């Protein structure tokens, strides 16, 4: 049986919008800058753009967490698919921990564990993307939201963050963007790439400015 003939062609082609959305990444610009640093200049470069704190000794994971991880790996009990009871233990503990800061109690049913924030964004955007729907994304923003919304054929509407107001949301602009097809507004707090943290009063104003019911999804860095 001939599996691959030199004459056959792949029956797909790249998506132009997706290519455009993934072409400009902050990491790409940073790599470009880093590659162009003058190697003969002996001054220390302070890595202000370094987003992952785990490379610095003052951000070490606690020893108790490291030991718990090592113990569970070495026990040989958790190297396969998770049993429901094990997952329940984890989601219950997460719910208990998060409930300390919420005005209401979370249960294990409120917790969905993903491999990082990107998978969570993927799950949420895929679930929200129905034909004709739109999503509100901040400008400037972390690029993964735009790429995943584009892949899922959501219409993207940008609202502005105002540099002169410590990157607060331009509430007037936001009100004009949302309509009855808006399924979500992404609010990144603490802000990436701007690094700001919103006052809760500002967040309340943002939420009350949207007259349609949609999901607000926020990435908290813990
Ligand atoms: C706003 C935002 N969303 C998503 C991510 C991706 O998170 P993860 O690396 O956990 O997938 C990041 C990472 O910095 C982020 O800042």
70-129 pLDDT, tens digit each: 999 999 988 888 877 778 888 999 999 999 988 889 999 999 888 888 899 999 999 999
Q: Is the pLDDT of residue 214 over 70?
A: no
Residues 197 and 221 in one domain: yes
Residues 168 and 213 in one domain: yes
What span, in angstroms and rounded, lies between the C-alpha atoms of 30 and 200?
Answer: 31
What span, in angstroms and rounded, lies between the C-alpha atoms of 36 and 49?
Answer: 15
Q: What is the 3-state secondary structure (H, E, C) of 174-208?
A: HHHHCCCCEEEEEEECCCCCCCCCCCHHHHHHHHH
Domain that holds residue 101: 60-113
Model confidence band, residue 52 (pLDDT cutoffs 50, 70, 90): confident
Residues 216 and 142 in one domain: yes
Decide whether any atom of ligand 1 lies within 6 Å of the 219 Cβ.
yes
17: in domain: no
How many domains does the chain fold into? 2
| Assigned token pair, 92 | 């219950």
Mean pLDDT taken over the chain: 85
Residues 137 and 187 in one domain: yes
Read off the pLDDT of residues 157-191 as tens digits, 9 standing for 90 and up.
Answer: 999 999 999 999 999 998 899 898 999 999 988 88
What's the pTM value of the predicted model, to 2 decimals?
A: 0.75
| Assigned token pair, 174 | 């936001």
Q: Is 156 within 8 Å of 18 (Cβ atoms)?
A: no
Residues 121 and 169 in one domain: yes
190: in domain: yes
Residues 6+ away with beta carbon under 8 Å from 88? 108
Centre of ligand 1 to C-alpha 148, Å, is 13
14: in domain: no
Q: Is 123 within 8 Å of 112 (Cβ atoms)?
A: yes
Residues 170 and 187 in one domain: yes
Centre of ligand 1 to C-alpha 23, Å, is 18
88: in domain: yes
Residues 80 and 130 in one domain: no
54: in domain: no
């Amino acid at each position: 049986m001939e599996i691959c003939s030199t004459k056959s062609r792949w029956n797909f082609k790249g998506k132009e919008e997706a290519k455009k959305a993934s072409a400009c990444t902050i990491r790409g610009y940073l790599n470009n800058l880093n590659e162009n640093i003058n190697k003969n200049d002996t001054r220390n470069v302070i890595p202000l753009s370094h987003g992952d704190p785990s490379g610095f000794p003052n951000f070490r994971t606690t020893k108790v967490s490291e030991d718990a991880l090592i113990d569970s790996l070495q026990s040989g009990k958790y190297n396969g698919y998770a049993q429901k009871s094990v997952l329940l233990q984890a989601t219950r503990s997460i719910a208990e921990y998060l409930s300390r800061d919420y005005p209401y109690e979370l249960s294990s049913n409120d917790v969905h564990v993903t491999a990082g924030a990107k998978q969570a964004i993927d799950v949420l955007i895929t679930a929200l993307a129905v034909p004709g729907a739109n999503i509100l994304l901040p400008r400037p923003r972390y690029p993964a939201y735009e790429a995943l919304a584009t892949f899922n054929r959501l219409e993207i509407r940008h609202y502005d963050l105002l540099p002169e107001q410590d990157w607060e949301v331009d509430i007037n602009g936001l009100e004009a963007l949302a309509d009855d097809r808006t399924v979500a507004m992404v609010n990144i707090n603490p802000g990436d790439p701007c690094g700001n943290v919103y006052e809760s009063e500002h967040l309340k104003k943002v939420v009350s400015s949207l007259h349609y019911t949609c999901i607000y999804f926020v990435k908290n860095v813990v």
